[in-house]
Amino acid sequence: MANSDLRKWISPIRDQGNCGSCTVFGTDGAWEGCIRIKENNPELLIDLSERDFFSCSGGSCSSGNTMDAVLNYARDTGVCIEECCPYDGIDHSCGEGRCDSWWINGKKLQSWKEVTDINEMKTLLNTTPLVGTMMVHQSFMNYVSGVYHNLGWLDPVLGGHCICICGYDDELGAWLVRNSWGTDWGMQGYCWIRYGDSEIDVCMYQITPDGEIPPQPPPTPSPCKVGNSLVKIGNFFAKLLRRRGRFYYLNP
């Protein structure tokens, strides 16, 4: 049986805190891993700014944002490094407090694409981490170890969540996930999730780093200020119409 474990390439576990910024933590987790793999250096120091990424891709702590918005911003504009704009778990306007000439050491995606075939997901995970999304049930909050699976109708869904997928194991029948709820959660921040559970493998995203950031900063977009109630309504219709329009905002 086949398996893959890319944890040695993945950056340290982060903690998004009391802010629905999982989209950028999940994306940065895969992105930083892709850069280390490309450079063939698991010790490479690379830490992208979740605050810059989140605020400038239209996110707000109460409502999160969509995967399209996050991945398109990373591809079209780029993100500065953490030192240039440190994360603090609260809302900011795009560019607020960001260092001058942020683009000099910043990173940009060359491209991204959706992956919906499970065999293709496994093939890609042999060499590169993927960005993933899932629906979080109440029981997931209390996960400690082993292969997670939800408890069905007795286990209410709390919201959508974005994570980094960094491996799989056919013997376990599970995906290896890097979460962003700190090292006190799960297996020091990681978990195994059963194939097909919690919509984990309905869609994943392959990202290709090393796009070129222009020498001048782009126009500043306005951050999204959609309220929780509107987001939940949007989630319902997005699920009916097209999955990638769903907002992901879950925080622990």
The pLDDT tens digits of the residues spanning 160-196 come to 999 999 999 999 999 999 999 999 999 999 999 999 9
The pLDDT tens digits of the residues spanning 5-28 come to 999 999 999 999 999 999 999 999
Which residue from 249, 149, 166 is spatially nearest to 204, judged by alpha carbons? 166
Catalytic site residue 179? yes
Residue 217 has pLDDT above 90, yes or no: no
Active-site entry in 65, 84, 92, 179: 179
State the pLDDT confidence band at 210, using cuts at 50, 70 and 90: confident
**Strands 247-248, 147-148: parallel, antiparallel or unpaired by DSSP?**
unpaired
**pLDDT for 108:** 95
Helix 67-76 and helix 22-39, axial crossing angle in degrees, nearest 10? 40
pLDDT above 70 covers a percentage of the chain that reads 83
Contact between 6 and 129 under an 8 Å Cβ cutoff? The reply is: yes
Contact between 191 and 178 under an 8 Å Cβ cutoff? The reply is: no
When mean pLDDT is compared across 41-45, 215-219, 223-227, the lowest value belongs to: 223-227
State the pLDDT confidence band at 220, using cuts at 50, 70 and 90: low
What is 111-177 written as a DSSP string?
EEEEE--HHHHHHHHTTS-EEEEEEEEGGGGG--SSEE---GGGS-EEEEEEEEEEEEETTTTEEEE
Domain boundaries, the chain: 3-248
**pLDDT for 247:** 62
Active-site entry in 56, 94, 161, 164: 161
Catalytic site residue 22? yes
Phi, psi (5° rounding) for residue 18?
Answer: -90, 55
In angstroms, the CA 217 to CA 28 distance is 20
- Running DSSP on this structure, what letter comes out for residue 196? T
Residue 97 has pLDDT above 70, yes or no: yes
Which residue from 26, 29, 24 is spatially nearest to 12, judged by alpha carbons? 29
Contact between 82 and 50 under an 8 Å Cβ cutoff? The reply is: yes
State the pLDDT confidence band at 1, using cuts at 50, 70 and 90: confident
* Average pLDDT of the residues of the chain: 88
Catalytic site residue 224? no
**pLDDT for 214:** 61
Which comes out higher in pLDDT, residue 51 or 249?
A: 51
Tell me the one-letter amino acid at 157: V
Side-chain-side CA neighbours of 114 within 13 Å: the count stands at 11
Active-site entry in 22, 61, 162, 164: 22
When mean pLDDT is compared across 64-73, 87-96, 126-135, 204-213, the lowest value belongs to: 204-213
* C-alpha gyration radius of the chain: 17
**pLDDT for 103:** 86
CATH among 1.10.357.10, 3.90.70.10, 3.90.1200.10, 3.40.50.150 for 3-248:
3.90.70.10
For the residues 33-45, what does the mean pLDDT come to? 94
Which comes out higher in pLDDT, residue 138 or 217?
A: 138
Residue 244 has pLDDT above 90, yes or no: no
In angstroms, the CA 229 to CA 236 distance is 11
In angstroms, the CA 171 to CA 173 distance is 5
**pLDDT for 172:** 97
Tell me the one-letter amino acid at 77: T
State the pLDDT confidence band at 245, using cuts at 50, 70 and 90: low
**pLDDT for 252:** 62
Tell me the one-letter amino acid at 103: W
In angstroms, the CA 130 to CA 22 distance is 14
